[in-house]
Amino acid sequence: MSSTTNLFSPTKLGAHTLPNRIVMAPMTRLRAVDSIPNSVMATYYAQRASAGLIVTECTMVSPMSNGYMNCPGIYSPEQVEGWKQVTQAVHDRGGKIFLQLWHSGRVSHPSLLNGELPVAPSAVAGEGTLHSPIGKVTLETPRALETQEIPEIVEQFRQGAVNAVEAGFDGVELHGAFGYLIDQFLQDGSNQRTDKYGGSIENRARFLLEVVSGVTSVWGGEKVGIKLSPSNTFYGMKDSDSQGIFSYVIDKLNPFNLAYIHLMEPNEVDLANRQVLNPVLPIFRPIYQGTIITNGGYDRQAGNNVLSTGDADLVSFGKLFISNPDLPKRFQLEADLNTPNPKTFYGKGDQDLELGYIDYPFMEIQTE
């Protein structure tokens, strides 16, 4: 890649041509009351349509995939209708938007699942707490999935991809990161199975590859991405050979000709927890033949720097997009950025959906 490549260089992303390489990262904003996307969410995403690509927040593929209150879904007709207003609003502004398909696995609680235990590869509890309808709760030991149940979950992902077509999305991203179900199957700290989905690296990668196969059968590879976090320690995730399992998976993704893989660098918490792969990009760039989106606390300068190395093709931004709906313009003009308010990152129940969500000012408002 040329050293002149920067955040504002147009690029091909699978089937799409993007005006820039600035991606709005998927974030857990939790404004979908009763799991149905709404007009406030449509406004939020439309405000940010100048991104080269928007990836939505994690979106449930089934009622049993729920890990958070007010998280949207893509398994009911009402949810599909709700998402239609979001995709229409983004397309009206000239933007592109992918839906992130997600199953929380063990990162849930019976109070979020109609009294059912969360499901996971193995009966191994994650570490940490959740906000639930009954208050703050500690993660409980999940129920290990039976072998014959696993194809049903693969089918839920595939059906979610079908529903995303109907909802008007431009593609989908699989959430294979951050300690949720796909990641739980990958890593041997959470996967202690003895059937064909556990044990060897090949077996632990099987669920991820079956989900990728199911979803690409709907969209084609060029409109599907996947997010992976080889150094993540979220919810107690760990593997005895992180480089081995993720090298295997990333190599096996090459034949799918995906739109991209979305690779997460470790954050400060990961680095403080234990030895993790750091940095991630130089390890896996030689293995993957396609497009890589990187995420890892980048600012404008760091984003341009990583693109100039060729280790990544696009850069995703999370917190900066929360507080700056016009982030690409601010980057282009090297303008001041709004400061995000972490207290409203994850919603405020259904009391005030707009607070810290669609009320961050655009540059025009600031300079009047």
Positions annotated as catalytic residues are 180
Task: Supply 288's token pair.
Answer: 């993957």
Burial 142-177 (b: 16+ CB within 10 A, else e): bebbeeeebeebbebbbbbbbbbeebbbbbbbbbbb
Structure tokens at 38: 């709404």
Separation in Å, CA 319 to CA 3, 75, 113, 157, 325: 27, 28, 29, 27, 11
Which among 61, 179, 187, 174 has a CA at the least distance from the CA of 128? 179
Calculate Rg over the CA atoms of the chain.
19
Closest CA to 195 of 240, 151, 147, 148: 147
Give the C-alpha separation, 320 to 359, whole Å. 14
Q: Which residue has the tokens 């593929």?
A: 61
CA within 13 Å, CB half, 147: 9
Residue 11 contacts by C-beta under 8 Å, 6 or more apart in sequence? 17, 18, 20, 21, 52, 313, 314
Here the tokens at position 106 are 């063990």
Q: Are strands 135-138 and 129-132 parallel, antiparallel or unpaired?
A: antiparallel
Say if residue 279 is preceded by a cis peptide, omega within 30 of 0.
Answer: yes
How many helices (DSSP H) and strands (DSSP E) are in the chain? 12, 14
In the block, which residue shows the tokens 């919603």? Answer: 347
Residues in contact with 110: Cβ distance below 8 Å, sequence separation at least 6, in sequence order: 116, 117, 118, 140
Residue 251 near residue 213 (C-beta atoms within 8 A): no
